[in-house]
Amino acid sequence: MARKSRRELAQLDGTTELPLTVREVALAAGVSPITVSRALHRPSLVSAATREHVLAVVKELGYVPNLLAGSLASSKSRLVAILLPTIANSIYATVVQAIMDRLTEAGYQALIGPTGYSPEKEEELLEAILGRRPDGIVLTGTLHTPASRARLAALNIPVVEAWDLSAEALDMQVGFSHEQVGVALAEHFVARGYRRFGVISVDDPRAMRRNLALQARLVALGIPELPMEVLPLPATWEVGRIGLARLLERPEPPELVLCSSDTLALGVVAEASSRGLRIPAQLAVVGFGDTTNGRFATPALSTVSVNADAMGQRVAQALLDRLAGEQTAVSLDTGFALIERQSS
Amino acid sequence: MARKSRRELAQLDGTTELPLTVREVALAAGVSPITVSRALHRPSLVSAATREHVLAVVKELGYVPNLLAGSLASSKSRLVAILLPTIANSIYATVVQAIMDRLTEAGYQALIGPTGYSPEKEEELLEAILGRRPDGIVLTGTLHTPASRARLAALNIPVVEAWDLSAEALDMQVGFSHEQVGVALAEHFVARGYRRFGVISVDDPRAMRRNLALQARLVALGIPELPMEVLPLPATWEVGRIGLARLLERPEPPELVLCSSDTLALGVVAEASSRGLRIPAQLAVVGFGDTTNGRFATPALSTVSVNADAMGQRVAQALLDRLAGEQTAVSLDTGFALIERQSS
DNA sequence: CTGTTAGCGCATTCAA
DNA sequence: TTGAATGCGCTAACAG
């Protein structure tokens, strides 16, 4: 007697309810399996009558196609991997949210991998995720291990590096120059008459690029001193409070504090508030990120707006365009805007 | 002549580099495919010598096993679906981050689906995601469409409802009672002597449950009036600012403002600061969430801490335990804590 | 427009 | 400890 298939074995078991397959749906609908498949995924290839009938049966039976099998057969997974430092940071979360919204709309799903700002962890996650054969990959930043770069180069699937621009794109890049942010901040606020700057930052590679560019530019503009508090991740509101406390302990307290994120800036405002410091009269505060699309800046706060939402949409679009077979630009500068507080 | 397989066709094409398969690795290593598979996934079944040799070949060739095929064959996807309102809200993001960290550690990957607080959208996403045959599912809250409930009931895979507790668990629940939060807030602050309360909230179902419980309890305690500003999502810092502005326009400005999230509370602080209001002397502010693990409350702010990190870990653990075949508790109350500001 | 055939790449089952 | 056979559920290719 023939060996029993696993499905048959499971049936005998009785307790376990097995998911339906195309075959069973086809049987119920009186068509072949492929017709069911087509009715679901390529409706134009099926006559209206059969299509409707098949779809009715599908609905009635509650059939959910097995995408693992489908992906295997078609070598299209409709899966996009997104690797980012952490989701628990609004600046990244906003971009991911935008990417996912756009992808979901287009019928893709997102596999998220949190790298914790570490290229090694990124490499590890990449290995694990590539096994799912994603149709596209989104990475954060331009810093990747040689192994990661090699893998991706050999792979021939669309890759977007978000958040940053560099000379050596893996494939596509969507972001802006963090150096330019630093330079712009320096020039703008020096022109406004500020001389005593202070920085409160977490130890994120991109934030540090901004900080160093700022510092260099300030030196060039005749301001040699830049007190900088670099605190460990994660970037919470608390970091801003501590940072300000430390800056104020220094001999020359700053007139202007530049923060590596809006979250930190809010902490600074809270701390300043509990110390009775008026903002911006006694202390100007500048954030970074502006995930609320221009609504972050207020009479009390300035910020650098990176329009995370737009960046996310463009990342998704770049991927989708490429998946649709279009040629797409290698590098897309989404820019940033310095949104200044109203004068008080 | 025999019809060509798709793989053969792709080879002819020339341009496309196909991913390696077990077969090719086996060939290179001089063993059978199944030995390669075992060396990778069940090393104890292979002799040390062959194992090392095979793994060396795998590494050298850069072989990445196709998990789509593996999952199909083994009916284990090592995928967990997480459906949540939005990732762009630190309170949810923190929980997801914790869940993912724990899952990644255990070799699982997370499929994220943003439902935008809508049960209908949740249902839709569920349908789409079930096709990937996830080994487990995490839902947010206890409000699901009948169709979703039916699907999940028929499915026989572990489900965790996070963030809330209810009488009708789908499977497992990990969360706390939002009604209790409202009651606790009312009792605590009335006992502290506050009489003029105000609420600033977004229109999130769980937040509204807290608000209504608060209101009911206040009425019972002899405080009939509760000015409440319910603003549309998303819960940004800006919402807090606007909310406070509106509350202050009312005839009797509050002494105490309860916010539906810490983000809103920060907005309130910023707005109060720019109006010269001292916190908490002139205005007490209470947040909700405390994603920074007890570091959110400060001299200026109180908050309700839900320990999102712990909740996430428990959600993941409940899932992993069940996947490991253990019986697990149906309902786990992770509680909350009211962290009050220092007296000023 | 519909059906038949033949895999996709892997892991389970059984046999050696 | 290793291997051969088989099928997981679906869709691409081809034929009618």
pLDDT at A2 over 60: no
Q: For residue A126, give the nearest of A134, B204, B44, A196 by alpha carbon.
A: A134
**Phi, psi for residue A229 in degrees, rounded to 5:** -105, 110
Q: In what order do the strands lie in the sheet with B284-289?
A: B228-231, B197-202, B256-259, B284-289, B301-305, B337-339
Angle among Cα A158, A164, A169 to the nearest 5 degrees reads: 45
Residues paired with B83 in a beta bridge: B113
| Chain B CA closest to residue A74 | B6
Burial per residue of A18-49, b for 16 or more beta-carbon CB atoms within 10 angstroms, e otherwise: ebbbbebbbebbebeeebbbbbbeeeeebeee
pLDDT at B6 over 60: yes
Q: For residue A128, give the nearest of B66, B83, B33, B19 by alpha carbon.
A: B66
| pLDDT tens, position by position, B265-298 | 888 988 887 788 887 788 999 999 876 655 565 6
pLDDT, residue A5, reads 66
Nearest-CA distance B221 → chain A (Å): 32
Which of chain B's residues have a Cβ under 8 Å away from the Cβ of A235? none
Binned at pLDDT 50, 70 and 90, residue A296 comes out as low
Cβ separation of B88 and A62 shorter than 8 Å? Answer: no
Mean pLDDT, all residues of chain A? 89
**CB within 8 Å of A107: residues ≥ 6 apart:** A78
Nearest to B72 among A64, A72, A89 (CB): A72
| pLDDT tens, position by position, A54-103 | 999 999 999 999 999 999 999 999 999 999 999 988 889 989 999 999 99
Q: For residue B238, give the nearest of A257, A299, A298, A237 by alpha carbon.
A: A298
Averaged over B223-248, what is the pLDDT? 92
Residues in chain B: 344
Averaged over B238-242, what is the pLDDT? 90
Beta carbons of B101 and B58 less than 8 angstroms apart: no
DSSP state letter for A280: T
Q: Would the Cβ of B153 be found within 7 angstroms of any atom in strand D?
A: no
Percent of chain B with pLDDT strictly greater than 90:
66
Would you state the structure tokens that stand for residue A140, as one six-digit string? 């954060």
Instruction: For residue B329, give the 3-state DSSP assignment.
Output: coil
Q: Would the Cβ of B27 be found within 7 angstroms of any atom in strand C?
A: no
H-helix or E-strand spanning residue B159: strand B159-162
**This prediction's pTM:** 0.91
Averaged over A31-53, what is the pLDDT? 93
**CB within 8 Å of B54: residues ≥ 6 apart:** B25, B29, B31, B35, B36, B39, B40, B46
Residue of A68, A101, A293 to mutate, interface with B, max B Cβ within 10 Å = A68
pLDDT, residue A238, reads 85
Q: Straight-line distance from CA A164 to C1' D11, in Å? A: 39
Nearest-CA distance B273 → chain A (Å): 6
Q: Would the Cβ of A319 be found within 7 angstroms of any atom in strand D?
A: no
| Chain A CA closest to residue B91 | A88
Which of chain A's residues have a Cβ under 8 Å away from the Cβ of B276? 278
pLDDT, residue B69, reads 97
pLDDT at B262 over 50: yes
pLDDT, residue B294, reads 54
Q: For residue B19, give the nearest of A81, A124, A154, A82 by alpha carbon.
A: A154
Lowest-pLDDT range of A157-166, A324-333, B6-15: B6-15
Beta carbons of B131 and B81 less than 8 angstroms apart: no
pLDDT, residue A60, reads 94
| pLDDT tens, position by position, B317-343 | 999 999 998 888 789 999 888 887 654
Residues in chain A: 344
Cβ separation of A109 and B90 shorter than 8 Å? Answer: no
pLDDT, residue A340, reads 79
Determine how β-strand B301-305 pairs with β-strand B284-289: parallel
pLDDT, residue A293, reads 56
Q: For residue B319, give the nearest of B115, B157, B194 by alpha carbon.
A: B157
Q: How many CB atoms lie within 10 A of CB B1?
A: 3
Angle among Cα B318, B322, B326 to the nearest 5 degrees reads: 110
Binned at pLDDT 50, 70 and 90, residue B260 comes out as very high
pLDDT, residue A15, reads 56
pLDDT, residue B328, reads 81
pLDDT at A298 over 70: no
Q: Which residue is nearest to nucleotide D2 (CA to C1')?
A: B35
pLDDT at B101 over 90: yes
Q: Would the Cβ of A34 be found within 7 angstroms of any atom in strand C?
A: yes
Number of A:B CB contacts under 8 A?
Answer: 166
| pLDDT tens, position by position, A212-234 | 999 999 999 999 999 999 999 88
Mean pLDDT, all residues of chain B? 89
pLDDT, residue B18, reads 79
**Phi, psi for residue B78 in degrees, rounded to 5:** 55, 35
Cβ separation of A90 and B94 shorter than 8 Å? Answer: no
Nearest to A88 among B90, B133, B238 (CB): B90
Averaged over B137-154, what is the pLDDT? 94
Averaged over A151-166, what is the pLDDT? 93
User: Which nucleotide comes closest to B41 if you measure CA to C1'?
Assistant: C11
Would you state the structure tokens that stand for residue B125, as one six-digit string? 């996403």
Choose between B198 and A9: higher pLDDT.
Answer: B198
H-helix or E-strand spanning residue B123: helix B119-130
Binned at pLDDT 50, 70 and 90, residue A344 comes out as very low
In whole angstroms, what is the distance from residue A141 CA to residue A158 CA? 16
Percent of chain A with pLDDT strictly greater than 70:
91
Lowest-pLDDT range of B14-28, B32-46, B94-108, B180-194: B14-28
Bases in strand D with any atom closer than 7 Å to a protein CB: 1-14
Nearest to B131 among A67, A86, A276 (CB): A67
pLDDT, residue A290, reads 76
Q: For residue A84, give the nearest of A8, A133, A137 by alpha carbon.
A: A137
H-helix or E-strand spanning residue B24: helix B22-29
Which of chain B's residues have a Cβ under 8 Å away from the Cβ of A274? 279, 298-300
In whole angstroms, what is the distance from residue A236 CA to residue A262 CA? 10
| pLDDT tens, position by position, B161-182 | 999 999 889 999 999 999 999 9
Which residues 72-131 of chain B have a CB under 7 Å from nucleic chain D?
Answer: 72-73, 75
Q: Would the Cβ of B74 be found within 7 angstroms of any atom in strand C?
A: yes
Q: Would the Cβ of A64 be found within 7 angstroms of any atom in strand C?
A: no
Token look-up 């399996």 returns A33
Q: For residue B330, give the nearest of B98, B170, B178, B150 by alpha carbon.
A: B170
